Chain A
């Protein structure tokens, strides 16, 4: 059974079609990379899969539940119970310390547990920096706090939007190492990236262009399976 299934998903903003009739399946434990140029629909797909937006048409089944027609409250429930979000810009609460930022996710999920939050920070190498404010942390450290926050509730699906986009090489390697560990532990990962090297780490890559999946690459088989090869000029 797939953890995520998108069937005929379309998202329109007025006359602008951000996604067009997208079909996609993600198996439990799979690492899927989503690549594509700016405006290709990557963020829209992230928002829909991350329960932060609803499609205009089509169905999105996440962990056996169709979230396409859920109201705001249902989507909030799905977000806190099923999904862990990692952002390119980290999005930490500026006036809360590193450990408190992790505890916010616990608070909205169930019960805050400072010891567990400290352990999560220790796992990403920030045990000593738990009481620091985001402004006192480097970009790489902030991203690791973001990862600790995303993982604290043991989500079934981790969505990472350009997770290495704002990091130097050393921190990029560190973050990717965490992803490898997560993948090895059986966590399902969907990573949106511009970086071909990061994309190549996934089990599978899909390439979006003009709201359609124009290519799918199975890194495990090291084989390229072209799908829906619609020329960009042919889209309206």
Chain B
């Protein structure tokens, strides 16, 4: 009889029940979408932030010490160098899959003379990889270089290629100063060696590169006679925001206990990845670009906090909506409830009946909302991060508890109303 009463009541007030189910579905869909995105957002935000630059810089040991002390580089001739041939090893560390990109840099002051110009001017030249195809020691292939690490560069003309022997890109400011356009030819000279190259593109980077000449790494190595040499390497890595363990490890990994060390080593902290890079590249010092790493952690933390707040607000809104709808429904059914009490129903049995109806309707809304939320998460993933959001099973129990909580909290006013209903008042007006 109980279920007969429940189903008849549900069928009778179909439109009102549907409204309650839709209210729950709306709140749950938003919560599901945001929770799904939030639980997957770490990697997504990290990946997004990686497009804005490197978070680890590798330098030769001696240079790193000098640079730390004096903040300036020695001349390339005197400077210790990294071996270009070693760079593929970066993709062999424990967290190899978290290394999204890297690019080597070789810098030198060269003389630049645009063809037709009378005098040469000293300019900083940077040799780097553009989109270098790497054959890794693991047998796999990878592509690394500036093309993806500096995705925001606005290049007028075309990007140069790693295999080009006579093309360069010129920074926007330098090009304006020297009257260089795309297609012009320039002479680059260093210690009596000279290369005549065509300007393939003008770079607008918004940074120091606007005043530099960007050339393929091999071209600069040849010009300054440093074959296979690299001054520094910038690495973009997906990292986990630092915690107390990571901060202790960053100061001195040897101070950690064996268990802490293992935890730290096997977590994608920027310090752990730097440490692993130093392990594979001999004579190198890998240092986190602290500002970038910390900003990433902060952005991630704030993004997640914002999402939690949106979820909480949507659930509060849902609870208020449900409270209004259920209270209105119970008020409408006051004569029926009064009659049941007059026939001998206890407060508990009446509350049980109404709550069962609400939980059933809410659950239906919850299931619909969950499914809609999964879809919404994919829309958010596609429009914000340009990728799918992974299905996270933990969202199901979280959402179930939230739905139940919201329904019960939303039912409090109507339960109070039910308990206060006296059959004499409802049936006889007194």
A-side residues, CB < 8 A to B, are 13, 18, 43-44, 46-47, 50, 52-53, 72-73, 76-77, 79-81, 85, 87, 91, 93-96, 100, 103-109, 112, 149, 161
Contact = CB atoms under 8 A, between A and B. Distances in A.
Nearest to A150: B343
B2 interface: yes
B342 A52 contact: yes
A108 B8 contact: no
B340 to A, nearest CB: 7
B341 to A, nearest CB: 7
B8 A96 contact: yes
Nearest to B4: A100
A76 B9 contact: no
Contact of B11 (A50, A95, A104): A95
Nearest to A113: B1
B5 A85 contact: no
Interface in B8-30: 8-9, 11-12
B343 A87 contact: no
Nearest to A87: B427
A165 to B, nearest CB: 13
Interface residues of B, number: 28
A105 B343 contact: yes
Given A94-B12, A95-B11, A95-B12, A107 B1 contact: yes
28 contacts: A18-B430, A43-B429, A47-B424, A50-B424, A52-B342, A52-B422, A52-B424, A72-B346, A72-B347, A73-B346, A73-B347, A80-B343, A81-B344, A87-B427, A91-B338, A91-B427, A93-B340, A95-B8, A95-B9, A96-B4, A96-B5, A100-B8, A105-B344, A107-B2, A108-B343, A108-B345, A109-B343, A149-B343
B193 interface: no
Contacts of A106: 1
Nearest to A77: B344
Given A46-B428, A52-B427, A72-B347, A104 B340 contact: yes
A76 B344 contact: yes
A109 B344 contact: yes
B348 to A, nearest CB: 9
For the residues of A in contact with B, the DSSP-based class is helix
B344 A79 contact: yes
Contacts, number: 83
B387 interface: no
In terms of DSSP, what is the predominant structure of the interface of chain B? helix
Contact of B339 (A93, A100, A109): A93
A100 B4 CA distance: 9
Contacts of A94: 12, 336
B349 interface: yes
B423 interface: yes
Nearest to B338: A91
A103 B1 contact: yes
Contacts of B429: 43
Contacts of A95: 8-9, 11-12
Interface in B49-99: none
A95 B9 CA distance: 6
Contact of B343 (A18, A79, A100): A79
A47 B428 CA distance: 8
B337 to A, nearest CB: 10
Contacts of A107: 1-2, 5
B329 to A, nearest CB: 13
Contacts of A13: 430
Nearest to A109: B344
B423 to A, nearest CB: 5
B1 A104 contact: yes
B424 A53 contact: yes
B346 A76 contact: yes
Contacts of B8: 95-96, 100
A93 B349 CA distance: 16
Nearest to B345: A108
B335 interface: yes
A87 B338 CA distance: 13
Nearest to A53: B424
A85 B11 contact: no
Contacts of B343: 79-80, 85, 104-105, 108-109, 149
Nearest to B429: A43
A44 B345 contact: no
A205 to B, nearest CB: 21
Interface centre among B5, B11, B344, B428 (most CB of A within 10 A): B344
Given A52-B423, A95-B9, A96-B5, A108 B347 contact: no
Interface in B319-346: 335-336, 338-346
